[in-house]
């Protein structure tokens, strides 16, 4: 078995993500109702399911085609800021992985970094602002460290998922500096950021897909 992410594995990642977002829809909505517009769960559930339906119907043969389709679908179906941000992540990931049927650990690490950089550029947020970046940034860094240290893809993805979970939890005491939650000022403290929560689910789904 080669240590690569294939189109089949990437598809399994997306399917797992759509499934867990759907299962956690009410929880994501509850988080968003405290500091946002109470629509993150519904928006993400609709968007991820539409993305999976798109790729299963089209069956792209290469990683860039698969991930570009996901990114474009998320942009067009997920409301608010989450659609453009998640869409940018997948579009940048697609460009980095290229027109190939599989990608090795170093290439995937570079792709995840490109996706993160795209989200930062688009959302103008940084770590500590109480956004999805607080889960995504440590996840990508953990993935990169694991790959540099010689870990196989599954182990690197597991490390990334653990880091994303920790980053998500660390948003609870923060005062939001970006997005809808920032309007609440100090009242935003004491709540986990919903975008960080859905991002943690994204990396946990990747770990599960690569462990299969």
Delimit the domains of the chain by residue range: 5-211
pLDDT higher than threshold 60 for residue 156: yes
Instruction: Output the pLDDT for position 1.
Output: 45
Q: What percent of the chain has pLDDT over 90?
A: 89
Look at residue 201 and tell me whether its pLDDT is greater than 70: yes
pLDDT in tens, 167-189: 999 999 999 987 778 777 788 89
User: What angle do helix axes 133-148 and 105-123 make, rounded to 10 degrees?
Assistant: 160
Mean pLDDT of 35-50: 94
CB atoms within 10 A of CB 137: 22
Residue 2: the pLDDT is 65
- What pLDDT is attached to residue 177? 87
What mean pLDDT value characterizes the chain?
A: 95
In three-state secondary structure terms, 103 is strand
The model carries a pTM of 0.95
| Euclidean distance between CA atoms 140 and 160, whole angstroms | 6
Lowest mean pLDDT among 40-54, 155-169, 172-186: 172-186
Tokens of 140: 């990508």
The encoded tokens of residue 69 equal: 């389709």
Task: Give Cα 29 distance to the centre of its chain.
Answer: 17
Confidence class for position 9, pLDDT limits 50, 70, 90: very high
C-beta separation of 136 from 183 below 8 A: no
CATH superfamily of this structure's domain 5-211: DhaL domain (1.25.40.340)
């Amino acid at each position: 078995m080669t240590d690569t992410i294939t189109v089949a594995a990437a598809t399994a990642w997306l399917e797992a993500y759509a499934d867990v977002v759907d299962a956690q829809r009410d929880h994501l909505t509850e988080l968003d109702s405290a500091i946002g517009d109470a629509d993150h769960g519904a928006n993400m559930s609709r968007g991820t399911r539409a993305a999976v339906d798109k790729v299963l119907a089209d069956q792209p043969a290469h990683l860039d085609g698969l991930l570009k389709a996901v990114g474009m679908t998320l942009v067009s179906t997920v409301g608010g800021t989450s659609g453009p941000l998640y869409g940018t992540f997948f579009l940048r990931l697609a460009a980095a992985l290229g027109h190939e049927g599989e990608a090795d650990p170093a290439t995937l690490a570079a792709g995840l970094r490109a996706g993160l950089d795209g989200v930062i550029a688009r959302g103008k947020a940084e770590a500590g602002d109480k956004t999805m970046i607080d889960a995504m940034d440590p996840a990508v860094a953990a993935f990169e460290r694991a790959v540099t240290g010689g870990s196989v893809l599954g182990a690197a993805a597991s490390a990334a998922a653990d880091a994303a979970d920790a980053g998500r939890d660390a948003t609870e005491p923060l005062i939001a500096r970006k997005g809808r939650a920032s309007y609440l000022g100090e009242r935003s403290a004491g709540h986990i950021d919903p975008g960080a929560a859905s991002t943690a689910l994204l990396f946990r789904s990747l770990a599960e897909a690569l462990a299969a």
